[in-house]
Amino acid sequence: MITFLHNLSFEHWLALATLLLIFEVFSAGGYLLWVGLMAVAVGAVVFLLPELHWAWQLMLFGMLAILSALLWRRHQRRTVRQIDHQCGQPAIASKEPPAACATPR
């Protein structure tokens, strides 16, 4: 296992990103999309800096994945609040656009 970690390359990060994006297709929420994109970002960094130690690679990926998940959660909460404010109804995540909740005149 440690030999694998010492030999991490950008191809491994792109493979991880591909798997995460495939899993995102079958899940809901969007979290794996952002984590997958962060794996692509780490892969790009490793491509530019091929001698980057595996511990730094994993730390960078972990920090970026957590940051992206927190930002996505913040965006989702803001979207739900906007729908709630525009409709005057309880905040329920809906796939309908906010205009759909306007009352007809």
Give residue 71's domain range.
Answer: 2-92
DSSP 90: -
| pTM of the predicted structure, to 2 decimals | 0.71
Position 87, amino acid: C
- Tokens coding 84: 């709630």
pLDDT exceeds cutoff 90 at 103: no
What are the C-alpha distances in Å from 16 to residues 5, 25, 64, 101? 14, 15, 14, 40
Task: Work out how many domains the chain is built from and give that number.
Answer: 1
Give domain status of residue 15, yes or no: yes
Give domain status of residue 100, yes or no: no
Residue 80 pLDDT: 72
Give domain status of residue 76, yes or no: yes
Residue 6 pLDDT: 85
Q: Which residue do the tokens 């996505």 mark?
A: 72
User: How far is residue 95's CA from residue 53's CA, in Å, rounded to a whole number?
Assistant: 43
Give domain status of residue 67, yes or no: yes
